[in-house]
Structure 1
């Protein structure tokens, strides 16, 4: 065979190889873009469409699609309901090497009055495309013979000293002596024998030293104390102490606008309810609960298991695999679920046993929280992908988990079931069969017959190589961008409070800007200034300071290295905003834009000198 003919054959083979590379790269690009723009589905449902006033509705919003591209859905305006988040749950599955997921957002809706209402569309925007759910109709029936709340008989121990007051609050703990990480229920109740003009503003006490879980829904009912009927609002919170010691829970407070009959100029003539409702002007009252104390005991060191990782409560453990039979080098998803009552979020991943002959990948965890009957429970699921490397059987040993049971005051050890998986040899062919001919010369002549003599110009081959390289580089860049994005999201999730602290001023600046966009009243403007500055301080200090006295806030700011002059400036802004928003009698035109600019510049200077 001539050298020129051999060269032509080699060039032909090179072209075929380049074409295969092009097909492969296009497939990779298609897969990447398909994953990035995977279709998102969103659905909303309720557990019941008809409910009695005083009861609650569970709203579930399920979003499915690529796990890395699911933002939090936006709820519609629900002014006729009190809305509480009751946690999220996430389901993850691996099918043919692809990750698919769905996230369920749970909300509890507590209606404010009887009637027929519509829950509007829950929306979600992904890659510029808007996804929405269908509206849901709800009917709230009056409870009993009237639309008022049901009557409840309360224990008199926490209210006996308040019986002669028309407005008061109480706070109680279900336990005063607990172990570290054991659940405590804090119950706040607001009693009023007068009608309210607006929703009261609840300010919880300082829960420093505890992990906090709200326990919705808020209860609304009536009770009778010494013959007087009270409307009661009850709010529950679950607390989990993070370390032993004696803790003092400060005062909880509530700000409410109620009817005021004390300045009635007409004496008893207008004591009729009709005239009272017509002539009274209302007043704002602030009531506070008594401080509470709790003793937190350390967990016993005696008989503590070596694998104990701070879980306290009552739990169970289960493990499973998505396949009982698999070929070599194919993935298996192992699922370990720990469920029960307690601080589920604090559960750590159980130690993965050593399994010979498999490759293990990173574990992905998800949490499902339930707050049914005002008790924190739920499950934490750990999904791990393993790949068997050899045929035979893979035995997944038992997973062991230890926890402390506070009611029995002892440590418990529980184990999951073991799993046996059959691994078959791979059915993929490892060699390529070639045809055998009796005469090499005949085969060569047959091959040459199918070779085209017009191979094309050399520049055409260069173009193919150039395009291949460009596509390869684009694929690598997309992979690197995706990897960087995932790492950035991981960093954000692990350093959320730090990010909030660094972005605190930008968020403050944005909220101030929104205040002066449209026409705003004085009380709304200064109320917005007050709330924005409180949020700024909370974000910077990484502590929720809403409801603190300024003395408490000052101690926190000093500990966070803010100098005395800056603290004084913050105090002046807060006091002025508080005065202006609760002083509607103040007249005169106010240049809100100039005032906002002045406050913004003051906070900007504080930001420059604040090093946390």
Structure 2
């Protein structure tokens, strides 16, 4: 037992030591003679080194140690910084050998670095007017001494030398014209250099990027401008203050002579130039005969990583079907020539196979001026017998597998699985018709017994209409008509219900019919009709409230039946999926629903396609959107939980009672609450309607039990877990990267690392800025992430005009 513990402790120590890492970096790869720049060693380990690293002694190069620093990182890691001052005394490239350091008995080694020095005569001098003062400054554009080859990516730097008495705050990027060369954006480097020029001390500001010649012969980079915020001392009225003055400084042009690639390139050469290594990962678990295989190909090294072609398989034609590879986000900054890039590749055997074929990448090595090939080894695999027949359609997957035992995602579902042949009636909402009808019956009985007798008129409606007909049939003379109308009022409209218009009619009758010498003149037909209509409105019994209520309920909106022609696209997507062409399947689903409104089943299938393409971040996004559309989508919830467990995503951590609440869908609590409210209302009507003892006892049961059930269901709804706890729904965002990405303290690649964010993590989008998004993750951590790796959970509404519940 003691031996086992010692072995376990030893393995743990080895693992902790293996995580230690020593990195070396230069603030500037190019300097002028006598310029002092910074070299930084960064040690990430759980222990301090036995001795600090020592500076090597080199001919033509002086390296002196500066004051070290330390910062405590995550998981007990200590991040230690060892800065050095570097100064070159001889022009040309200088190689700085690897530094070594001893941490807990383990020797760590950094990568070697190359710094190139140029004569000070290559600096071009200009001046700029700032607050009436003419300030001189120097500029230079540096690149490696050796001419690059066509397609070779090389580092380039813009240097600006400002007088030391000026304080500068970099506030932009350098913009340069490009002729026959492709260059990434020039970003400011951290730190400044120091150099003595023209008898004065200057500070050097560096803007770094990469450049790739696109043709042989002369290519040009520049001229251009760089915007810098200057801090200038000004004296006004005896007070001296620093004042800001943004300045656009002019940059020179630099001509490079690009060399053509030599003859003798392999037939499969596609333009890779540099030094590269190739590795492969294959998902060969639970393979059945003829199943597609998902591969991850990673190219690492130095060269044109941004334009690198995908490696290709080494296999005879007709043995494998290969699909279009998907390029994943590269690791490392784009302004660096060193890093790695990955490709997601799907292959499918056409014949019986027992190993994944080798892949290769032909490239041209500019250091040796030779063509080379990076190659992987074949990967053996085994298959399990399958009973499925060719051409069988996908079936709805089994949901009984626990998430902890899942080794892969559940398959596609048929988006038309719940679509009936005729118009769809939402029975889940219209069950309330039953208690509504029962309530109407009780209400009708209540009105009949207690309320309607109060509104009954002295005579029947038929008699009223017959009396009105007699009024209309009187002689056309006004006296006769008014006399008949007055008689109708006195017979059918009680005095307490006569309004001002009826009383004025009686007054007119008394005035014209009961004078000594009445005038017999005819009454206009329009006025006769108006008087008859007034008498009818006042005399007839008002329309029953029960009839109005029944009429309103009978006007239920008709269910709209939409049958878009999406079934053929669904079938094409399923066929592409079965062949392993997940990119084509994704496009078919996109064609079926080009707008933001996507059914939950289709969003789920889109997520599955992204997962198979090696895009787990986008898969998590669409699983969550499927749950947003249909919180009861069991397949989306199970796949999302599997993905979160596999990737370690940052999401909301639930309390035990919230997990218990989530065992039932949210709709169950909403339905229970609605049913209990109906029960309370029906029980109250029953108490007012029924007279028998048994019926009243049942009504009292509903009155007592209904509120208790309503309170319990309402509490379940209120405390039901939801991702909107992290942020309002319109601010919820998902990290859609394919791999872990670094959140930084600033909206720039030069910002310090805050945390590594796994794909599919949930957060709140706080602010965007120049291609970056400020995100507050579900664990409360905040940081800047590239906007290309963050997407809102709720898709933006489709703009007008021509035209791009979540899991727990």
Higher relative contact order (CA closer than 8 Å, sequence separation 6+)? 1
TM-score by length of 2: 0.33
TM-score by length of 1: 0.42
Larger radius of gyration: 2
